[in-house]
Amino acid sequence: MTIMLVDILAEADTSMAKALQSLEKELSNIRTGRASASLVEEIEIDAYGVSQALKVVASVSVPEARMLIIQPWDKSLIEAIERALEQSTLGITPGNDGNVIRLPFPPLSEDRRKELVKVVFQKVEEGKISLRNVRRSALADIREAEKEKMASEDDARRAIEQLDELTQTQVKIMDEAGKRKEGEVLEV
């Protein structure tokens, strides 16, 4: 197989791995029945005239399964953090004692769990679309290399087979991640 085809496959593999990482990050931000620091770490806070992620201006701890404690490094940011949490999509009202912010996570209702499962599978489908786009681009590059006589017909066919195997593997991994997250969401 020519170096060009190997490069095309390597680039496709890297792009697919990034799509998988993106999906896993998106799934980690979906609320389950348990409190998790990843739910709030990326919330943008207006601090010192600049928008920053919460994890930059405060520590987040999980003292119990349904509670998050956010302790800002600078106490003057408590109101800004509280405001950002109220405006977030979490739907949880923070409690503030002047030193720390407490976020109690009530149990999810059955309807809300079903909605979240739909969101999980929507995110998985978006990830699969990303994979298909990477595959389509790599396939076009392989065919172009064959057309330009930079790769033989047999090499191009083998590269396409490897690309298909890579795509199928990544799709399976995404499906498994979706099923895992569904299990977490449905867990009572």
Domain-by-domain residue ranges, the chain? 3-29+109-186, 37-104
13: pLDDT confidence band, cut at 50, 70 and 90?
very high
pLDDT tens digits along 42-79? 888 888 888 888 888 888 888 888 888 989 988 888 88
Q: Report the distance separating Cα 50 and Cα 68, nearest Å.
A: 24
Average pLDDT, integer, range 81-104 = 84
pLDDT at 139: 94
Q: Report the distance separating Cα 63 and Cα 53, nearest Å.
A: 21
Q: Report the distance separating Cα 184 and Cα 61, nearest Å.
A: 20
Q: Report the distance separating Cα 93 and Cα 86, nearest Å.
A: 6
CA distances from 179 to 15, 92, 182 (A): 23, 26, 5
Which residue type sits at 45? I
Residue whose C-alpha is closest to residue 11's, from 126, 160, 146, 138: 138
Q: Report the distance separating Cα 44 and Cα 28, nearest Å.
A: 17
- Topology of domain 3-29+109-186 in CATH is Topoisomerase I; Chain A, domain 4 (1.10.132)
pLDDT at 37: 81
How many beta carbons lie within 10 A of that of residue 14, not counting itself? Answer: 11
Q: Report the distance separating Cα 89 and Cα 103, nearest Å.
A: 13
Mean pLDDT over all residues of the chain? 88
Pick the CATH number of 37-104 from 1.20.1250.20, 3.30.365.10, 3.30.1360.40, 3.40.50.1000: 3.30.1360.40
